[in-house]
Amino acid sequence: MRGAYTLFLLLCGSTCLLASVIPKEEILGAVRDFQQSGHAADAGLDFTHQASLDEHGRFHLLWKFDSETITFEAHVQTTGYIGLGFSPNGGMTGSDVIIGWVKDGQAFITDRFAEGYFEPRLDAHQDVELLSGYENGTHTVLRFRRKLRPCDTAEDREITEDTQRVIWSFNDLDPLENSLAGQNGPHVLYHGSNRGSKSIILLQKNPPTLDIQDSNILSFELTSSNVLVPEKDTTYWCNTMRLPRLDRKHHIVKIEPIIQPGHESLVHHAVVYQCKLGQVPPMLDGGHECYHPNMPEEWGNCNSIMTAWAIGGKGFTYPNYVGFPIGSDDDPDYIMMEMHYDNPDRISGQRDSSGLRFYYTPIVRMYDAGILDIGVNSYATHVIPPRAESFDSTGFCFGLDPYLQELGSPIKVFASMPHAHLAGTAVRTKLVRNGVFQSYVGRDETYDFDLQEIRLLDPEVMVQEGDQLITECTYKTTDRTQATIGGLSSREEMCINFIQYYPRMKLTRCYSGLDINQQAPFFGVYYAGWEYPFPIYYPDSMVNQTLIDVINQHPWTNEEAERFEQYVRNTQVFSYTVPEVNDYQLIDQPADPTMPNDNSVSIPGC
C-alpha cells in the first residue's frame, strides 16, 4: 500500500496532503481507481516544474519546456471543467485561456480568449494540442501543449522568461452542449469562487541539485531575534553576527529563507553584508534600526553584499562549479543582516524571528562567486511623476573597468535578481559593447513586486573591460497624485539588479545617481538645496517653496511624463561605487545603444 500511496502523492502533489479537503477513504479509493485506469505510465513524473496555484492545493500544475513549446499537466480536484489562462495583469480581460474537461472517458480542450469578465470565446485558431486526459474519481488530469511564441499573436499570449500572471478556474460540471454553443463552443458555466491568479516564472532554469544530507554539507542560520517590529509603514532592522569559526576556506552553496509563519507579507527582503576585514563591529542584543542616528557608526563599514533575498523568493542553489567564499584569511568574520519590514497597516505588537539559512562545504569549488548591485542610487533625487502610464529610469555602472583590470579577466554572470517596489512594472539590464546591445543580464518586462526570485541565466553572460551595464526600470503611477521618490519604503522606489557572477572581484555596488539641480530647470527652478524636500533658492520668486511642492503641482499627463523622462535622460549623473572611488563629478549619460529589430525574427512553423 505504501508504494501506491507514494505514487499518488507524486502525481497530485500537495492536493493529496489536505486530509481536511479530501477524506482518507476518498484518497485510498482514488489510488485504486488510478491503478486500475491504465494511466500509471502517464504519471507526469517527467515534468521539471510544478506549482500549486491555489492555497488549498486543489489546482496543481506541472510543466516542462524546450526552445519552442511548453507542455502542461493540470491535476485539479474536480470532475468538471478546468480553466488555465495567461493574463496581462491577473484579471480576465485580455487573457489567453485554455478550457478542458473529460466526459464519458473522452478528453476535450479548447483555446479561447477573454474579452471581459464573461465566458471566453473560442479563438479563430485552435493552437493548443491535447495530449491526454482522464478522471480518477476525485481529480481531472489534462496534459496539453502549446507554442511559446504562438502564430495567433492577436489572441494567444507569448510565454517568455518574464513573470507570467497565471489565472485558473474550475467547476464541478462539464460545459454544456446546447443552444448556447456557437462562437463560444460548448457553454462554460460560471466558476463561482473556484478561481484565482498566481505569478509564476514558467521558463525558469532548474536549479542545480544539492544533497543537503551529504556529510560534507554543513549549515548555519542568521535570524532576527524576536524583533519587535515598529508600528510604522517601513522599518529596516540591522543586526551584526559572527560567521562560523572555520580553519580554512569553505564555500556557501545554497541559501534559503526562514520566514516566520504568518509573516510572509511583513518580511519584504533581507540583505546580508560582510563587514570590513579585521573589524569586530559592536554587537547589540536584538539589533538596531538601520540608517538611524543612533545606529553604531562602525556598522556603516559593513557594506560588501554577501547575499540578498526578497519577497516571493524560494532561495538559491549555486551552480556546482561556483560557491561564495567564507573562512579564509581574506574573508571577514562578521556580517550585518538588514531586514526590511513592510507594515503599511502599522500593526503593533508583531515580533519576528525570520532570517536565512546557509549551506556550506569544505569542498571548495572551482570559482569564487561575487554579487554586484547595479542600477540607480536610491536617493530622493530619483523622481518619478504621478499619473504616468509608463515612465522609465536608467542607471549606469561607470566604475566597472578598474576592477576588471585588477581582476585580470572578464566575469561571467550566472544569475540575477531584479528589484523595484510597488510602482515597478519592468526591470532590465542591458550589456552594451561598443555602443551595440549584446544581451540582457536579467530582464522582466512584467515584474511583480510580490515575486522576486533569483533567476539563473541561460546562457551565462560574459562581461569584459569596456562593456557597459545599463539598468532600466519602468514604472506605472496612474493611481498616484504625488511624485514618487527613490528611497527605502515600498511606497518609494528603487531600480536595482543584484547580479551574481564569477570569478569574484572587489566591486560590490555600481550605481549612477541623479542630481536634483539637473532636473530642476524642467520646472523653472535653477537652484535648490540637496536635502529633501529640496528648498528652492533661485529664482527669488520661488524661495518660499520646495522643489517637491512644485513637482506635485505640475500639470502631469502621460505626455508631460514622457517629456520629463527624455529631459532626465539627457542630464548628467553621478557615479557611485563600493568600495568608494567616487569623486562626485557629473558625467554625461551614454547614448542609447543600437538594438536588434525583434520584428525581423520569424516565428517557427507559422
Q: From the candidates 81, 236, 341, 475, which is the catalytic residue?
A: 236
Closest CA to 372 of 333, 407, 340: 407
Strands 411-419 and 509-514: unpaired
Q: In what order do the strands lie in the sheet with 95-103?
A: 121-122, 106-114, 95-103, 82-87, 164-170, 195-200
In degrees rounded to 5, what are phi and psi of residue 16? -95, 0
236 is annotated as an active-site residue: yes
Q: Which long-range contacts (CB under 8 A, 24 or more apart) does 213-216 make?
A: 216/361, 216/362, 216/363
Collect all residues with Cβ–Cβ distance below 8 Å to 255 and sequence separation of at least 6: 307, 309, 315, 316, 356, 357, 358, 359
440 is annotated as an active-site residue: no
Q: Does residue 322 sit in helix, strand or coil?
A: strand
- Provide the strand spans (E) within 68-128: 69-76, 82-87, 95-103, 106-114, 121-122
- How far is 541 from 538, CA to CA, in rounded Å? 8
In degrees rounded to 5, what are phi and psi of residue 517? -80, -10
3-class SS letters over 404-424: HHHHCCCEEEEEEEEECCCCE
Q: Where are the alpha helices (DSSP H) in 329-444?
A: 400-407
Closest CA to 378 of 514, 260, 262, 502: 514
Collect all residues with Cβ–Cβ distance below 8 Å to 446 and sequence separation of at least 6: 88, 162, 163, 164, 165, 425, 426
Query: What's the grid cell of residue 271?
Result: 540583505
What are the Cα distances from residue 333, in Å, to 138, 225, 303, 463? 55, 20, 14, 30
Instruction: Give the count of beta carbons closer than 10 Å to the beta carbon of residue 218.
Output: 16
Query: What's the grid cell of residue 164?
Result: 507570467
- How far is 180 from 183, CA to CA, in rounded Å? 9
Kindly state the helix (H) or strand (E) to which residue 257 belongs, with its residue range. strand 250-258
Peptide bond before 386: cis, by omega within 30 degrees of 0?
no
What are the Cα distances from residue 347, in Å, to 197, 286, 291, 421, 544? 27, 20, 22, 21, 37
Strands 322-326 and 367-368: parallel
Contact 376, 511 (CB under 8 A): yes
Q: From the candidates 269, 340, 382, 419, which is the catalytic residue?
A: 419
Query: What's the grid cell of residue 589?
Result: 549619460
Catalytic residues: 236, 419
